[in-house]
Structure 1
């Protein structure tokens, strides 16, 4: 490893110089664990992230359809709406009302179909109110949806993600035990290039 690479690693581990940095002595950095702990009252077997490179390609509709399809097969389904600034899953699944809190955690709303849903809309005074937050706050809320919400015996958890590769997708992939990914796109050359990124 070159001195330049070592110094780059030193700055990333918070040291002002290479001296004392594990990389400078031939060692390796410990991988930082960003995983979020599931609420102790929860049980989630499989987590599927639904992503897209661009907005407006039907990602939330696909999430809702997948959730409904699994529910019809007799599976217990939950939907975590991680699109904090553009939440739509509660409306897509016909959920009305606010999320309720108890001493042990937040209770998701249940759709008429029986699907459990949590969404930022459930915490706003009016569902049309904008969420004007910076990235860390948004990422923190997504982790709270996993850690603070009581997901009772869920077989399939679908995570509706915002488009692109910003704070929320990074948080989900680093913090949640994602078992699979569904990529939603439309057949245009520009969209294909963005999805490839």
Structure 2
């Protein structure tokens, strides 16, 4: 093999190692599937009657083996995560897909609800039973729960994509696809502004 070709091969191998994929939740649809799901969502004005309360969505419930939902996501989305007998992480690292930051302390990580609980409330969940809201708030089957930088999650708060987007534009496709997948499965409505923002983000796929 020529020297230049050997160097190129080595550089390619190094790039492959450094570009290891960030662990992500299950159920993220392709951009084309997300566009089809988006087209089928009901568009209507969100109704905020002022009665939302986070406690109406019981979250971080027991998920088996002594681990709650938060701890389960930290184990799922971290690298080399070690937990103690109470399932609390004692070491590991987490790369936040929203901003690209890497953290080695679980206390620096929040578990973000892709579709915020209040957004769900004002787009249909106010009519659900508490049991259904609990399922939504602890949904490990769809791309609803993400391990992200704590202050980024706090900046997002209950904002929809027309008001807040991740700083990493390279993540916009995945973010919009995940948001749409969650709203589609749970039959939640979207606003016209939300649909416009999601469409723009899906066009980056």
**TM-score (ref. length: structure 2):** 0.27
Higher helix fraction (1 or 2): 2
Higher strand fraction (1 or 2): 1
**TM-score (ref. length: structure 1):** 0.27
Greater RCO (CA < 8 Å, at least 6 residues apart): 1
